[in-house]
């Protein structure tokens, strides 16, 4: 196996999870990490024993093939375009961009240059979600009918040290958490055809209760409670609710309904969890997890799959087409809310190939 050189730009909170998980995938050779805040990059480099370098050095290094872009959402496309201009494939944290137009520009640029783009989330590749997909593909729930997708909390200012960006354009509950749920639903059902929705902003500002900025007020520039419906091309209709304004609730993250049964799918922000199946006329029963990557936080498996795909000349799963489709769907909820109309989705994407073979030790998943 020939390793693939990786350069990481952005050393914020999520970078630790990536750096830790990348150790699980021998194909990934981390050649350096960089951040506009040099001290932050130096600290992360020391923590994980990797080189701290400048962004310019990463982009100029011929041994780096993939730039992993872990910057804040509003910088995702600008940084990814820099990587493409330097001849690098790029993999970004979610969302692909803060709006569909800039995401489309990124996808078009990559296509014109003959380079690959990918984007988080890659949690749909986790063993629990692949097990749920396998059950659907076996026909266990019969014809897919619908489902519910729910993420509701009081807001991230309770725990994040610098939560401002969650309330700026390009974030909010839909663009921050929606990618996990909608990507997993595309993994389970296929692409979305139409969207209807409503979006509200109950509060114009939020009060931080985390340290070190406890008591500070931050403005809210986006809707913080979104409710909608997605009609999938396979005929299923799914209700979705994303909120930073709910004190608590009893909904499970994902339920999937079919004519012969119902699946409870665990939190799509995680790779594992218990899948439960209710067959018609029976009670819910826990299902054995039959697929790999359910026993930890493998946040970077999408990068590893991209690396293997480059070496094997095959499609990668957490790809630009999928990420752009999900971005268009998420933006469509706001468009539907603003216009009072159902929005037809223009992008087409295929369900990513199922993942049933380990990527560890160079085994290729096909």
Tokens representing 290 are: 């039959």
Mean pLDDT of 287-301: 94
| Res 143: pLDDT | 97
Helix axes 13-22, 38-48, angle to 10 degrees: 30
Q: What is the pLDDT of residues 193-252, one digit of tens each?
A: 999 999 999 999 999 999 999 999 999 999 999 999 999 999 999 999 999 999 999 999
Residue 166's pLDDT band, with cuts at 50, 70 and 90, is: very high
Give backbone dihedrals phi and psi of 144, rounded to 5 degrees, phi first.
-60, 135
4-122+297-319+355-362 falls under which CATH superfamily? NAD(P)-binding Rossmann-like Domain (3.40.50.720)
Task: Look at strands 343-344 and 192-200 and give their pairing.
Answer: antiparallel
The structure tokens 């009609």 sit at 231
Mean pLDDT of 95-109: 97
pLDDT of 361 strictly over 60: no
Return the H-helix or E-strand segment holding 228.
Answer: strand 225-232
Mean pLDDT of 122-134: 97
DSSP string, 323-363: HHHHHHHHHHHHHHHHHTS-EE-----PPPPP--S--GGGP
Q: CA nearest 157: which of 204, 203, 210?
A: 210
pLDDT of 365 strictly over 60: no
Please name the residue ranges forming H helices in the chain. Answer: 13-22, 38-48, 55-60, 76-85, 100-113, 127-137, 172-189, 301-312, 320-339
Q: What is the pLDDT of residues 332-342, one digit of tens each?
A: 999 999 999 99
Residue 13's pLDDT band, with cuts at 50, 70 and 90, is: confident
Which residues touch 294 (CB under 8 Å, ≥6 apart)?
126, 127, 128, 131, 271, 272, 273
Cis status of the peptide bond prior to 14, with omega within 30 of 0 = no
| Res 185: pLDDT | 98
- Predicted TM-score (pTM) of the model is 0.95
Q: What is the DSSP letter of 17?
A: H
Is the distance from CB of 18 to CB of 9 less than 8 angstroms? no
Mean pLDDT of 247-271: 97
pLDDT of 152 strictly over 50: yes
Q: What is the pLDDT of residues 268-290, one digit of tens each?
A: 999 999 999 999 989 999 999 98
Q: What is the pLDDT of residues 61-90, one digit of tens each?
A: 999 999 999 999 999 999 999 999 999 999
Percent of the chain with pLDDT strictly greater than 90? 93
DSSP helix/strand/coil, 262? strand
Task: Look at strands 237-243 and 144-152 and give their pairing.
Answer: parallel
- CATH (residue range 124-287): 3.30.360.10
| Res 87: pLDDT | 98
Tokens representing 180 are: 């996990």
pLDDT of 366 strictly over 90: no
pLDDT of 362 strictly over 60: no
pLDDT of 188 strictly over 60: yes
> Residue ranges of the domains in the chain?
4-122+297-319+355-362, 124-287
Tokens representing 128 are: 């629990």
CA distance 91 to 274: 29
């Amino acid at each position: 196996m020939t390793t693939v050189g990786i350069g990481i730009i952005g050393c914020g909170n999520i970078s630790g999870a990536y750096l830790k998980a990348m150790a699980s995938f021998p194909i990934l050779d981390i050649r350096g990490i960089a951040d506009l805040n040099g001290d932050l990059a130096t600290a992360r480099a020391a923590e994980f024993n990797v080189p701290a370098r400048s962004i310019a050095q990463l982009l100029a290094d011929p041994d780096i093939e993939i730039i992993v872009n872990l910057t804040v959402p509003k910088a995702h496309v600008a940084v990814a375009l820099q990587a493409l201009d330097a001849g690098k494939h790029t993999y970004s944290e979610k969302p692909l961009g803060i709006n569909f137009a800039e995401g489309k520009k990124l996808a078009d640029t990559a296509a014109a240059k003959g380079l690959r783009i990918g984007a988080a989330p890659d949690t749909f590749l986790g063993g629990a979600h692949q097990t749920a997909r396998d059950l659907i593909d076996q026909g266990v729930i019969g014809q897919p009918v619908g489902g519910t997708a729910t993420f509701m909390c009081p807001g991230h200012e309770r725990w994040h040290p610098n939560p401002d960006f969650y309330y700026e354009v390009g974030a909010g509950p839909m663009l921050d958490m929606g990618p996990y749920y909608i990507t997993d639903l595309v993994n389970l059902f296929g692409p979305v055809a139409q969207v209807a929705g409503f979006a509200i902003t109950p509060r114009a500002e939020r009060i931080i209760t985390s340290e070190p900025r406890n008591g500070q007020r931050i403005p809210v520039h986006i809707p913080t409670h979104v409710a909608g419906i997605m009609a999938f091309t396979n005929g299923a209709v799914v209700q979705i609710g994303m909120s930073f304004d709910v004190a608590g609730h009893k909904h499970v993250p994902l339920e999937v309904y079919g004519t012969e049964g119902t699946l409870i799918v665990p939190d799509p922000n995680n790779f594992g969890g218990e899948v439960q199946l209710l067959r018609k006329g029976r009670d819910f029963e826990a299902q054995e997890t039959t697929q790999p990557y359910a026993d930890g936080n493998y946040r970077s498996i999408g990068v590893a799959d991209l690396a293997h795909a480059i070496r094997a000349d095959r499609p990668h799963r957490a790809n630009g087409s999928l990420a752009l489709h999900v971005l268009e769907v998420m933006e469509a909820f706001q468009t539907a809310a603003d216009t009072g109309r159902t929005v037809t989705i223009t992008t087409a994407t295929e369900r990513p190939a199922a993942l049933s073979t380990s990527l560890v030790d160079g085994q290729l998943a096909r």
